[in-house]
Structure 1
């Protein structure tokens, strides 16, 4: 019997940067990182990148213990990257205790990453409610049924809770839970990273300086 490769051997044998990697002129990128992000996002959608709005959100609690998870970008408004969550979720507790966050987008078919870091702020209740009501009935039912972080006895319990919540949504389509939140990451640093087959990766870093942005190239 041929021995199965070890995990290390598998990892070493996996290809990287296999997509159709575009060339980027760093000096042609917009001076505003929000505009640059939007241009790259449109390119990701046009290239058929799966779920380009998925991003890794990294937070830290009051003691500095980090946590990361994948969430969906809700909007980019007033120069801030916006996402939603439940006030009972661990990320909300982290952000309330340590109001800074980092985001990472990875668009593999293009070999591109975008990193965003900065302070966070909680949007007002009216904006949170409007966001919740824009969601599909199924998404609203799932949010209403959720009990973030609590032990779940069985999958059947979750299915039953979601079914009951869907009935509530159908009876009252304007129902909004008081725990629904929108958080905005007000970036003070944005990095656009373009992978290269020859490993001459491009890093363009934007850093906020008061009301303006400084832009520079960094070694990969």
Structure 2
């Protein structure tokens, strides 16, 4: 028969063993189940990366398919481990999955600036727009295609300073394009196919200066 001291030592070892078993049975961070919000944050990062040109459309489609079906945080972590983070994502720090870097969402004051002279700059495909776009140019055509753009919200201000140039806006159905405090000197604002806007549709407000220049709106098939 063990004495009282030996019994206490035996009980202590049993307690420690039970605690260890409980710790080992707990899921590792990489195995934690992902929520709908977790998936949406990663999807936002992927779409922003495509807009920045970090991944192409084929890779975007491939990663989005995995993201939509991801069950764990580890699966999501792998998808964005090589991308800068523009939305807060819960960190997963394990040997199997690199840590997710986190950063705040882009500030609402973000600006896209385009400057050119005797050129034809364009933003097409999945590019990243901002709440304010500034276009300064002479003698050339600047094209902004919003059909696949990664948008910051429903309202975008386009501040122009064009001289002998053209700003071409290619927009999805239902988009509102309207001039506001736009100074036109021998210039034209061409939106002949303007139609009634859809609820929650994109709204582009064009302001600034047009000198011997033109704003041309091209609408996708409705």
What is the TM-score of this pair, normalised by structure 2?
Answer: 0.22
What is the TM-score of this pair, normalised by structure 1?
Answer: 0.23
Larger Rg: 2
